[in-house]
């Protein structure tokens, strides 16, 4: 109850404006980076030209690289990071556990299986998206069925059901990898599973944007309900919240966001686990400020990882690999710094 009663400092427009400015600057820099560098001033003029025609001095290839190749990739990374950051903050709030991310409800493993199976069957890009998204939602449905047999749908039942379904779909992913032709399908499947924005295009951005934005808005509108759920089921129920209906509504919305992300860019771990903790350090545990802060930080982190993935070596590195290499040490530092609070069940 202390979370609701105390007048916590809520970041204002200046705070969000600062994070937004960092994100915008990073996005422009990202449009200029790559094997074919484009000056930042040229990037800005090309973007302005799409809204208001100005005299062009750039090469046609510059506009093609910026608008057709890099802009969809940047938008995809922003949307994916926003979805993962907000999903992680939501899940950690409703489960009241600082060590929870999207894998706990099986959605990531289910979506990974759907996408890998589509690649094994040589389906087109729309088939990969449809397969990943449908299997992710199926995983959530199975979690619902398994947890319904538990003790009145308690959090422990949900966690155990998520672990069971996640392990099941992870085994199916391993089976797909085992059956894949090592020369035809296996490289593409393995690379997709490690996460990448290399194949994203305008259609992919649309497939990602629609479910992410349509789910993120109601999640943010339910931010005060997440605050109540984080107090515990009995307190939330006493304050007028329909606990089970609210929790499953939020889980479904999170599944939409994460399923869309995995469908378009493959598995990208640690973002949903680490970013909410950074958000709490900056804005506090109140989900009114934590959700937008986690969304902005997730977008910044994912875009930065994508920039590094195509700048380190001649061959592009998977984004999921880099996010794990960076995220694991950062999370270890956070755990060391706050281990006493986390081990006692705290969220701050």
More confident position, 8 or 311:
311
Q: In this structure, is residue 14 part of a structural domain?
A: no
Cβ–Cβ < 8 Å for 92, 98: yes
What pLDDT digit, counting tens, does each position of 254-289 carry? 988 998 999 899 889 889 989 999 998 888 889 999
Return the closest-CA partner of residue 263 out of 161, 136, 139, 169.
Answer: 136
> What pLDDT does 7 receive?
40
Q: 5: pLDDT confidence band, cut at 50, 70 and 90? A: very low
Compute the distance between CA of residue 101 and CA of residue 161 in angstroms, rounded to an integer: 14
What pLDDT digit, counting tens, does each position of 220-254 carry? 999 999 999 988 888 888 888 898 899 989 988 99
Q: Number of folded domains in the chain?
A: 1
Query: What separation in angstroms does the CA of 114 have from each of 76, 130, 183, 253?
Result: 20, 8, 21, 19
> What pLDDT does 316 receive?
85
pLDDT mean over 183-210: 90
What pLDDT digit, counting tens, does each position of 152-174 carry? 556 778 888 888 999 999 999 99
What pLDDT digit, counting tens, does each position of 120-144 carry? 998 888 888 888 888 988 998 898 8
Q: In this structure, is residue 281 part of a structural domain?
A: yes
> What pLDDT does 8 receive?
44
> What pLDDT does 304 receive?
95
Output the domain CATH number for residue 257.
1.10.3470.10
Question: Helical H runs in 96-201?
Answer: 107-120, 125-148, 155-179, 186-193
Q: In this structure, is residue 35 part of a structural domain?
A: no
Q: Across all residues in the chain, what is the average pLDDT?
A: 87
Q: In this structure, is residue 98 part of a structural domain?
A: yes
Per the structure, the complete domain to which residue 195 belongs is given by 78-343
């Amino acid at each position: 109850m202390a979370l609701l009663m105390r007048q916590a400092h809520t970041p204002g427009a200046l705070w969000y404006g600062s994070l937004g400015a960092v994100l915008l600057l990073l996005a422009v820099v990202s449009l200029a980076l790559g094997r074919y560098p484009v000056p930042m001033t040229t990037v800005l003029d090309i973007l302005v030209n799409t809204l208001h025609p100005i005299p062009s001095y750039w090469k046609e290839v510059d506009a093609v690289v910026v608008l057709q190749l890099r802009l969809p990739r940047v938008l995809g990374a922003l949307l994916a990071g926003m979805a993962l950051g907000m999903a992680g903050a939501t899940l950690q709030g409703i489960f009241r556990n600082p060590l929870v991310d999207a894998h706990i409800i099986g959605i990531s493993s289910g979506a990974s299986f759907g996408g890998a199976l589509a690649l094994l069957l040589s389906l087109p890009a729309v088939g990969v998206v449809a397969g990943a998204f449908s299997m992710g939602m199926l995983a959530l449905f199975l979690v619902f069925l398994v947890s319904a047999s538990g003790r009145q749908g308690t959090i422990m039942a949900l966690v155990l059901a998520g672990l069971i379904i996640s392990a099941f779909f992870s085994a199916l992913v391993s089976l797909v990898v085992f059956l894949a032709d090592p020369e035809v399908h296996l490289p593409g499947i393995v690379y997709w599973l490690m996460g990448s924005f290399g194949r994203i295009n305008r259609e992919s951005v649309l497939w990602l944007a629609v479910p992410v934005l349509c789910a993120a808005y109601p999640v943010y509108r339910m931010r005060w309900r997440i605050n109540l759920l984080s107090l515990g089921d009995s307190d939330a129920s006493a304050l007028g919240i329909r606990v089970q209906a609210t929790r499953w509504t939020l889980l479904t919305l999170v599944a939409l966001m994460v399923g869309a992300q995995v469908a378009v860019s493959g598995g990208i771990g640690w973002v949903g686990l680490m970013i909410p903790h950074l958000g709490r350090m900056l804005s506090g545990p109140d989900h009114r400020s934590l959700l937008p802060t986690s969304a902005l930080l997730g977008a910044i982190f994912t875009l930065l990882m994508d920039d590094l993935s195509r700048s380190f070596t001649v061959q592009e590195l998977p984004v999921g690999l880099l996010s794990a290499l960076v995220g694991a040490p950062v999370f270890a530092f956070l755990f060391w710094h706050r281990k006493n609070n986390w081990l006692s069940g705290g969220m701050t």
